[in-house]
Amino acid sequence: MNNNPIIKVENLTHIYSPGTPFQVVSLEGISLEIARGEFFAVIGSTGSGKSTLVQHFNGILAPAKGKIWVCGADISDKRQRRDLWRRVGLVFQQPEQQLFEETVFDDVAFGPRNMGFDQDEVKRRVEKALQQMGLDPATVSGVPPFRLSGGMRRKVAIAGVLAMTPEVLILDEPAAGLDPQGRKQLMDLVEDFRREEGVTMVLVTHNMEEAALWTDRMAVLDKGRLVMEGSTREVFNKAGELRALGLNVPAPAQLMCKLRAAGKQVRTDVLTNEEAVEEIARLLSET
């Protein structure tokens, strides 16, 4: 593992409403590291603590117990945590509900303005971020966000974070609720941004195909605990364990597992359709 991780979590515990009858221990004893430049996924069933975990990465939440360092800052320290929003961008689950400015331009400009850039630089950043999200600045800048479709509002919300050019970009279910074409388009745009800007990415997702296609390494949460961590291929090769946690492996890997169960000697650690096709072609050529 990289000696100098950009995010390091040590024995993190988080409790919502501590000391009240509503107390929830949402994370317990989590330790993990994310390397600079890595595309990291956090998966797990509903309520497993994914959103709670990633909200610690830009200092919105502070640990009840344990330590977290992000970009060298110790986030238990209020002063060090304060400036993290400039360097670590978090796009919340359903961010389209958080657009509150009168125009798309003002919404995307919110972050860069707070960072203290002058008007020209703010404009340059807003236009670039809208373009990076596949939106035409001339068409959408003056539109009130509520007039846009859900998918477009989502893109505007993401653009608002891209406009701050963060070192780490955290996306909590960015493509949830979009149709398959919309999902693919959004993830392609995100991947282009990642490559262009060289950012470290953390993706929270329920979509296993997406995790398989894009990410290098993954953490799997279950009831607030870290139950697996490893390369995406390693984790998805544990179909049985994932199933026991209520999770699936990507469809191509499911197919390989079924072929294996039927006695065919195929690799089960495939991640994509292309890899599955290759494996089936090999099987056919041998028979």
Ligand X SMILES: Nc1ncnc2c1ncn2[C@@H]1O[C@H](COP(=O)(O)OP(=O)(O)OP(=O)(O)O)[C@@H](O)[C@H]1O
d(CA 26, CA 133): 33
Whole-number Å distance between alpha carbons of 95 and 155: 9
The answer to whether residue 51 forms part of the interface with Mg ion (CB under 5 A) is: yes
- Considering the complex, state which of residue 148 and residue 211 has its C-beta at the smaller distance from ligand X: 211
Minimum distance from CB of 154 to ligand X (Å)? 16
Residue 62: CB atoms within 10 A of its CB come to 14
Q: Which of residues 64-93 bind Mg ion (CB under 5 A)?
A: 93
- Indicate left, alpha or beta for 29 from its phi (over 0: left) and psi (-120 to 50: alpha): left
Q: Please give the residues from 91 up to 150 whose contact with Mg ion meets the rule CB under 5 A.
A: 93
272 touches Mg ion by CB under 5 A: no
In which residue are the tokens 């388009």 written?
185
Q: How far is the CB of 90 from ligand X (least distance, A)?
A: 13
Separation between Cα atoms, residue 190 and residue 171, nearest integer Å: 10
Residue 20: contacted member of ligand X, Mg ion, none (CB under 5 to 8 Å, by partner type): none
CB of 174 to Mg ion, least distance (A): 12
Cβ 45 to ligand X shortest distance, Å? 7
Residues in Cβ contact with 189 at an 8 Å cutoff, skipping those fewer than 6 apart: 132, 133, 134, 155
Nearer to ligand X, 46 or 287 (CB): 46
Work out what residue 24 binds among Mg ion, ligand X, none; the CB cut-off runs from 5 to 8 Å by kind. ligand X
> Whose Cβ is closer to Mg ion: residue 176's or residue 251's?
176
Q: Which is nearer to Mg ion, 50 or 81 (CB)?
A: 50
H-assigned helices in the chain: 50-54, 78-82, 104-114, 119-132, 137-140, 150-162, 180-197, 208-214, 232-236, 239-244, 251-261, 273-286
Quote the least distance from Cβ 228 to ligand X, whole Å: 15
- Measured from the CB atom, the residue of 50 and 81 that comes closer to ligand X is 50
Task: Give the H or E element holding residue 228.
Answer: strand 225-231
17 binds, among Mg ion, ligand X, none (CB under 5 to 8 A by kind): ligand X
Residue numbers of the site for ligand X (CB under 6 A)?
16-17, 24, 26, 44, 46-52, 93
Backbone angles phi, psi at 201, to 5 degrees: -120, 140
Footprint of Mg ion (CB under 5 A)? 50-51, 93
